[in-house]
Structure 1
Amino acid sequence: MTPVTIGLISILIFFIFLLLRMPVSYTMLISGIIGISLLNSPTVALKVAATEIYTSFSTYTLSAIPMFVWMGFLALYGGIGAKLFHFAYRTVGHLPGGLAIAAQGAAGLFGAISGSNTATAATIGSLAVPEMRKHHYNNSLSTASVAAGGILGVLIPPSTLFIIYGIASEQSVGKLFLAGIIPGIILMILFMIMVYILAVRNPELAPAGEKSTWSERYQSLKGGLWEVSVIFALSMGGLFAGWFTPTEAGAIGAGGVLVLTLLTKKLSWEGLKSSLFDTLRTTAMIMLLIASAVVFGRLITMSRIPFEIGGWVESLVLPSFVIMALILLIYLILGFFMDALALILLSIPIFFPVVVNTLGYDPIWFGVIIVLVAAMGVITPPVGVNVYIIKGVVKDVSVEEIFRGIWPFLIMIMVLVALLMAFPEIATFLPNLLG
């Protein structure tokens, strides 16, 4: 068999294991070992796997992951999310759909210290959905809006997905963080616009709330917003200025959240223990995924599949944006069945050389695009992890009802993808400006 045939067989084995509901990390690891064994020998495959796993776990850059993950969980258990939602509600709660609009604003602000779609959805969902139900919001709209808002947690820096993409593609994590700021803000505004349109067209879906006084708005401003500003300025500001590495920025951010939540007496002993336990569990999952993906990536490279795809793409008489659209369609389809993190790790060895080397697209721009498209999988059936998180918050609303409300927000994500395709400067402006 040719190397390409062996590579394709290994990919087929991967999807078979996936359909059998084997954990993605084990699926990539076993498929990679099988493929390398067929290409060389079982001894070589096991040596490659052992070397890559050890190298992945001992990489200094990956130590940024537990730092940013812990920062997010400290913010979750330290009550910062509640303050942010209160501020957003006081600001826009009086508009049609105001509570759902406030939830998007709070999700965007919380994303600036979270880096996780699940933490953002869980935090804002537990606060916003009960409040929206109290004001007789439509169940489908209220739950879906918060599930979709969780995506802002991986687009607005810091973002775990950007860290993973940066490490896997050898791109600057700082530049990726910068590239995600403007698209993240635009997506937040698009979500707000969609909620407003739906509420204006049918006021029964999302009635307007009470209008707050300027004094109440000022008091809410002194809540979580200053904390987020301080933490973001310390960690992200130092990273963008070149003072810190990503790992140091994560450590400073986590330390800042810890100090602030302890000073304000919002973090209990139980909350601290829960944040450490959740960070350990999440970090272990991410690290195993990365190590397994590296082994699988070695197989893909050895099989020469990326080179064959690159040659095939070069032979196509199609504009590059059409080929790019087809690649994004593949991401969208795979996102229905795979978690965003696993999808990015799996696809980078295959598509990154094609998009960057063959089609000539900017690697930082591509990072924003695939993080955005892959993140759509967290709100689409059947995986839709954010939907299941919100289902856990509101147990009497069915999963099907939440998924029905997702489609308007998917449209807004596709609008942003189209904008990024037409105007790449949306993502590349800040990285180019700050160098």
Structure 2
Amino acid sequence: MSPEMYGVLGFAALFGFLASGMPVAVALLIVGFVGTILLSGFQAAAFTLSGQAFATVTVYELTIIPLFILMGNLASTAGLSRDLFEAAHKIVGHLRGGLAAATIVGCAGFAALSGSSIASAITMGKVAYPEMRRYNYGARLATGSIAAGGTLGILIPPSTGFVIYAVLTEESIGRLFMAGVLPGILLTTMFLIAIAIVTFFWPEEGPRGPKFTTKEKLTSLLRATGIGTIILITIGGIYTGFFTPVEAAGVGAFFALIMLIVRGQCTIKNLYDVSAETLKTTGMAFFILIGANVFAPFVALSHLPTTIAGAVTGLALGTYGTLAIILFGYVILGMFIEGLSLLVITLPIVFPLVVGMGFDPIWLGVVMVIVLEMGLISPPVGVNVFIVKSVVADVKIETIFAGIMPFWLAMIVTLALIVIFPQIALLLPNAMFN
């Protein structure tokens, strides 16, 4: 049997394991280990398994994952996400769709602390949904804005998606973080425009809320300075070169802890819950990375990347035609497979193919993250949609999927703009590192 056939059977087995409910990391480990045995022998497979496990957990740059997760958990426990939502609520809540817009802003702000789409969706769902329903918002706009806003968690830095992409491709985490800033702002703006369009044609989806006094607005803004300060210190420190990304994560976690103490939330129970959640999420992320690093050598040994690259090139679709097919494939696969898992499974094949066509690897990281975001809210298995459903049990799942469609179209527009104008993603990293 040819190496390529072993590769095809390996992917078939991998997707079969995933369909059966097996954890992604375990499926990657099994397929990668057994596949390497078949192609190179047991000794090579054992060396890969032990060596990659040790190498992954000792990568200094990966310290950023637990630190940023810790920062997000501390900030959430301290109530910083609620503060940002309340500030946006008081400033724009009197406009049509104002609370939905406040939800998007809140998600964007919390994304800059947590780096997690799921965490953003859960947190803002608990904070924003009761308020929107209290002011008679339509269920479609209310849930759609939460599900879509949550996806900003893997685009706006610090992003777990960028960290994993950087480790698997040996690109700079700092450059990727900076590359996500302007696209993150652009996508947030597109989401706000989508809300404005929806409420213009269907005003009953987002009725106007009460007006607040200038004093109330200023008070809420002052209270929200906590989250703004942490974002400014971490992202600003990375941009100016004062901090490395890992150092910025540590400083951000420290300031989040200070906020927890200042607000009187630093209890034994809260510290235990924050630590347990941080360890759980970190362990899951590292386990997936170990699995990916065992799976990737098997893919390389199977020669599948070279074979697929040759087949795609032979179609003579041109660079952008080929890119369009790849991105469309990601959207389809993203409907069934969680985004970060899909990234680690496919990157060994896709990365050399796309970079080999002349595309910038940092720009590619941004584009892939946006496509993965689309998968998070795409039917029938949009992960963020089901996360929101778990928070708002009274809304039918089809209603949530209907609510995300304007935001899904906004993602398409954003993706097109970044493909047409790659400098949107490359401006800041080039200015910072050149």
Verify the 8 A CA contact 1:79 1:267 in the aligned structure 2: no
Q: How does 1:199-238 map to 2 (within 5 A)?
A: 199-224=199-224, 226-238=225-237
Q: How does 1:348-367 map to 2 (within 5 A)?
A: 348-357=347-356, 359-367=357-365
Partner of residue 385 from structure 1, selected from 362, 383, 386? 383
Verify the 8 A CA contact 1:147 1:386 in the aligned structure 2: yes
Q: How does 1:270-309 map to 2 (within 5 A)?
A: 270-309=269-308
Q: Describe the SS at the equivalent of 1:11.
A: helix
- 2-structure distance, mates of 1:134, 1:89: 13
1:7 aligned partner, one-letter code: G
Q: 1:143 offset after TM fit, Å? A: 1.0
Q: How does 1:106-125 map to 2 (within 5 A)?
A: 106-125=106-125
Does residue 409 (structure 1) correspond to residue 407 (structure 2)? The answer is yes
- 2-structure distance, mates of 1:235, 1:249: 5
| Residue-pair matches, total | 433
Verify the 8 A CA contact 2:71 2:249 in the aligned structure 1: yes
Q: Describe the SS at the equivalent of 1:347.
A: helix
Verify the 8 A CA contact 1:176 1:364 in the aligned structure 2: yes
**Residue equivalent to 1:52:** 52
Does residue 325 (structure 1) correspond to residue 324 (structure 2)? The answer is yes
Identity among equivalent positions (%) equals: 42
- 1-structure distance, mates of 2:49, 2:122: 35
1:99 aligned partner, one-letter code: L
- 1-structure distance, mates of 2:308, 2:427: 30
Tell me, which stretches of 5 or more residues in structure 2 are unaligned?
Answer: none
Residue by residue over 1:407-434, the C-alpha shift from the partner in whole angstroms, topping out at 9 and shown as x without a partner, is: 1111111111111111111101111112
Q: 1:229 offset after TM fit, Å? A: 2.5
- 2-structure distance, mates of 1:273, 1:38: 45
Verify the 8 A CA contact 2:117 2:150 in the aligned structure 1: yes
Residue by residue over 1:371-428, the C-alpha shift from the partner in whole angstroms, topping out at 9 and shown as x without a partner, is: 1111222222343232222222222112222122111111111111111111111101
Verify the 8 A CA contact 2:335 2:381 in the aligned structure 1: yes
Q: Describe the SS at the equivalent of 2:136.
A: coil
Q: Describe the SS at the equivalent of 2:180.
A: helix
Q: Describe the SS at the equivalent of 1:260.
A: helix
Which deviates further from its counterpart, 227-236 or 413-422?
227-236
Verify the 8 A CA contact 1:112 1:228 in the aligned structure 2: no
Tell me, which stretches of 5 or more residues in structure 1 are unaligned?
Answer: none
Q: 1:328 offset after TM fit, Å? A: 0.3
Q: 1:3 offset after TM fit, Å? A: 1.4
Which deviates further from its counterpart, 277-286 or 245-254?
245-254
Q: How does 1:17-416 map to 2 (within 5 A)?
A: 17-224=17-224, 226-357=225-356, 359-416=357-414
Residue by residue over 1:220-256, the C-alpha shift from the partner in whole angstroms, topping out at 9 and shown as x without a partner, is: 11012x2123212322222222333322221111111
**Residue equivalent to 2:425:** 427
Verify the 8 A CA contact 1:78 1:271 in the aligned structure 2: no
Verify the 8 A CA contact 2:78 2:263 in the aligned structure 1: no
Verify the 8 A CA contact 2:140 2:205 in the aligned structure 1: no
Verify the 8 A CA contact 2:56 2:289 in the aligned structure 1: yes
- TM-score w.r.t. length of structure 2: 0.97
Residue by residue over 1:175-194, the C-alpha shift from the partner in whole angstroms, topping out at 9 and shown as x without a partner, is: 11111111111111111111
Which deviates further from its counterpart, 387-396 or 103-112?
387-396
Q: 1:314 offset after TM fit, Å? A: 3.4
Q: 1:173 offset after TM fit, Å? A: 0.7
Q: 1:267 offset after TM fit, Å? A: 4.2
Structure 2 CA distance for partners of 1:329 and 1:234, relative to 1, 3 Å? same
Verify the 8 A CA contact 1:52 1:291 in the aligned structure 2: yes
Q: Describe the SS at the equivalent of 2:204.
A: coil
Verify the 8 A CA contact 1:117 1:150 in the aligned structure 2: yes
